Amino acid sequence: MTENKNVLPVEQREELLKVLKARFEKNMNRHEGLEWAKVEAKLNANPEKVGSLNEMEVTGGEPDVVGYDKEKDEYIFCDCSKESPKGRRSLCYDLEALEARKKHKPENNVIDVATAMGIELLTEEQYRELQQLGDFDMKSSSWVQTPSDIRELGGALFCDYRFGHVFVYHNGADSYYAARGFRGSLKV
């Protein structure tokens, strides 16, 4: 995954905006009452955020607008792929966990990848809110932000959706699985 400091070339940016617009229009239930023209204007005013959305897209996240913060005048994007993004799986939780592994280290860790992409790892609350918009992670699972007291003891949290419910689990932060990735959010 690339550093997200650069603004996308015009042609690539326009192509991404077409994809985002089509997804926005196809899934109006995720953002009732919001207009694409206003979202697009915000994106055009924040080209570095478009770069983050591109990272979300190319790693399989299928980002879409899931809310609007009126007080801050910010649109909230989230990974809306049916399963945890394929380009962000098999990662342990953070650098401390990665460095603690003696054998079979994963390629990277969730916290550093999210930071490099310019996005935030979902909280448990955000994950539950996302599940109100559809059924996500029915075959996969996604790491979520972990409280420091759990992390200090070597654990980390992840969620999935089974049997019509969101489940929150714990695992060693140094663990990683082919079916576990992470979902992110981005405010624009």
Asked if 59 and 88 touch (Cβ cutoff 8 Å), the reply is yes
Instruction: Identify the sign of the CA torsion 110, 62, 32, 68.
Output: positive
> What is the structure's pLDDT at 3?
44
pLDDT 10s digits, 63-97: 999 999 999 999 999 999 999 999 999 999 999 99
pLDDT 10s digits, 123-151: 999 999 999 999 999 999 999 999 999 99
For the CA atoms of 138, 25, 31, 28, the dihedral, rounded to the nearest 10 degrees, stands at -70
> What is the structure's pLDDT at 1?
44
pLDDT 10s digits, 6-34: 689 999 999 999 999 999 999 999 999 99
Q: How far apart are CA 35 and CA 28, in angstroms?
A: 10
pLDDT 10s digits, 158-180: 999 999 999 999 999 999 999 99
> What is the structure's pLDDT at 6?
67
Res. 2: pLDDT tops 90: no
The stretches of 118-158 forming alpha helices (DSSP H) are 124-131, 148-152
